[in-house]
Structure 1
């Protein structure tokens, strides 16, 4: 008598978990997907890009993004790291460059980067990516009785419930933020 848990058309020795389109862990697929990019940019750059938040810290991670390593002929391991930096932060980064190079080389344990080249442009991170944590928001202060009455008077003519709630929320944040 055949086992009822196996399908009638199952082949002997066939394991459905080993099928070609079976789900796999993201880490397995990620390496295969990123390998061409990392091959093109280099292993050291791949490590710098993937660990930039750890190496640089949250402030630099928010304002900068490593782009490429440029190796000069005969320079050995040492390279120039090209970094995208937001224009407002470029001067600060220029002054911090020796410390950043030291942090990168300390991370690797050898002289991987000799100097930085800065490219000023807005730094944008993909949505859902490894973003730097947003700055904590300061909670709005509670409204005084006069402010609540003023807000209620401003919203008096609004009949749409959803619009009224949105405007009330906006009003509370504006009144709560003002001093």
Structure 2
């Protein structure tokens, strides 16, 4: 007597259709991890990596991978023209900071590209609210401004006096 052949569950077939996302991640994950994620990390954390001075004058743009260079890349950085020479001297320091951030040799060097750096301005803080002047403080301010004849100067000094005397401490 021969045993009948075993039937497999169709859901466990090796050639069963699978979601593209599951297979794609397995294929592209190593490349993205080595290359794309490094640039995304550098761009999103540039202020923390570079520090406030370099952050104001520079902006990372892309990673350039040379054939056969392994994992290390060249980081292309846009730098304001007035700061380019300074950054050229600081290049080993910047490479060390980036590699220290990643914990491995992510970049081997820098390529500088001189161009203006435009950052979105942070909104100005709202003006501080001053408390109303007491009648005594208002009289003292009026006495200080009594000898000033120029109307524009008097108004400017009065505004300054009100903001100083009315500031919350």
TM bracket, shorter-chain basis: 0.5 to 0.7
Counterpart-to-counterpart distance in 1, 2:147 and 2:95? 55
In the alignment, structure 1 residue 78 sits paired with structure 2 residue 72: yes
Q: Which residue of 2 aligns with 1:144?
A: none
Counterpart-to-counterpart distance in 2, 1:52 and 1:93? 15
The one of 43, 46, 49 equivalent to 2:43 is 49
Counterpart-to-counterpart distance in 1, 2:43 and 2:100? 16
Residues 74 and 153 of structure 1: is their aligned pair in 2 closer, same or farther, counting only changes over 3 Å?
A: same
Greater gyration radius: 2
In the alignment, structure 1 residue 126 sits paired with structure 2 residue 120: yes
**What SS class does the counterpart of residue 117 from structure 1 fall into?**
strand
Shift of 1:126: 2.8
Residues 78 and 151 of structure 1: is their aligned pair in 2 closer, same or farther, counting only changes over 3 Å?
A: farther
Shift of 1:150: 8.9
| Alpha-carbon RMSD | 3.2
Q: Which residue of 2 aligns with 1:104?
A: 98
Residues 151 and 61 of structure 1: is their aligned pair in 2 closer, same or farther, counting only changes over 3 Å?
A: farther
Alpha-carbon displacement from aligned partner over 1:94-132 (angstroms, at most 9, x marks no partner):
000001001101111111000000111110113459xxx
Counterpart-to-counterpart distance in 2, 1:47 and 1:81? 13
Alpha-carbon displacement from aligned partner over 1:27-65 (angstroms, at most 9, x marks no partner):
xxxxxxxxxxx99x8110100011111110000001100
TM-score for the superposition, normalised by structure 1: 0.52
Counterpart-to-counterpart distance in 1, 2:100 and 2:48? 12
Which stretches in structure 2 are left out of the alignment for 5+ residues?
A: 1-31, 124-144, 161-169
Which stretches in structure 1 are left out of the alignment for 5+ residues?
A: 1-37, 130-147, 157-163, 173-179
TM-score for the superposition, normalised by structure 2: 0.55
Instruction: Name segments (4+ residues, structure 1) moved above 6 Å.
Output: 148-151
Counterpart-to-counterpart distance in 2, 1:97 and 1:150? 59
How many aligned residue pairs are there? 107
Matches within 5 A, 1:19-30: none
**What SS class does the counterpart of residue 49 from structure 1 fall into?**
helix
